[in-house]
Structures are given as structure tokens and as C-alpha cells.
């Protein structure tokens, strides 16, 4: 039961994060928690989509029983998360936000 609850909780976060990325890409408006820190909203939104996709893929991989498929999903999901984090970092203002 805890595994299913964890799966649902992570996917709720992934969907909300992906929605924030899509809103940034379509409207150019950044999510309220990052509004003062983001200089390049489209870069930040692309990073949010990559990060959400990678997180969802890695979380889904933990439910797969076949080790080959598990390795492939983690091999794709982890670089997506890393690239998304780097893109979001590059989209932020230099020297702004918490230290």
C-alpha cells in the first residue's frame, strides 16, 4: 500500500511541475515560487519539463520487474533529470535567491 501511495504522490508532484513548465513555455510567466529569480523563463520551463519527465520515468522504472527495461528507463530518466536541473539553473539570475 505504501508503494502505491508513494507512486501517486510522486506523480502528483511530477504533473504539477510539468504544468508549471508548460505554462512558462506557453505564456512566459514563471511559477510564483521562482518569479523573482528567473531571468530566462523559456529556458527554465524547458528545464522543468525535462526534470519532470526524468523524475516520472525514474519513478516508473522502480515498478518494472524486468532488469533490462529497468536499466534502460533509469539510463534515460537520470540524464533527463540532470539536464533539466542544469537548464533550470542556467535560466536563473546570477547572484539572486538564497545562498
Average pLDDT over residues 25-39: 84
Exposure of 77 in the CB half-sphere (CA atoms within 13 A): 18
**Does residue 92 or residue 1 have the better pLDDT?**
92
Q: What is the mean pLDDT of the chain?
A: 87
Mean pLDDT of the region 64-74: 89
Non-local (6+) Cβ contacts of 98 within 8 A are none
Which residues does 18 contact at the CB level (< 8 Å), separation at least 6? 48, 49, 52, 53, 56
- Read off the pTM: 0.84
The domain spans of the chain are: 2-91
Name residue, grid cell 528567473: 38
The Cα–Cα gap between 80 and 97 comes to 24
Amino acid at each position: 500500500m505504501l508503494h502505491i501511495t508513494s507512486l501517486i504522490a510522486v506523480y502528483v508532484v511530477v504533473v504539477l511541475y510539468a504544468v508549471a513548465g508548460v505554462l512558462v513555455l506557453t505564456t512566459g510567466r514563471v511559477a510564483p515560487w521562482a518569479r523573482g529569480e528567473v531571468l530566462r523563463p523559456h529556458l527554465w520551463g524547458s528545464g522543468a519539463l525535462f526534470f519532470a519527465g526524468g523524475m516520472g520515468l525514474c519513478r516508473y522504472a522502480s515498478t518494472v520487474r524486468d532488469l533490462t527495461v529497468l536499466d534502460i528507463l533509469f539510463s534515460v530518466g537520470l540524464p533527463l533529470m540532470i539536464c533539466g536541473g542544469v537548464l533550470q539553473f542556467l535560466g536563473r539570475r546570477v547572484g539572486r535567491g538564497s545562498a
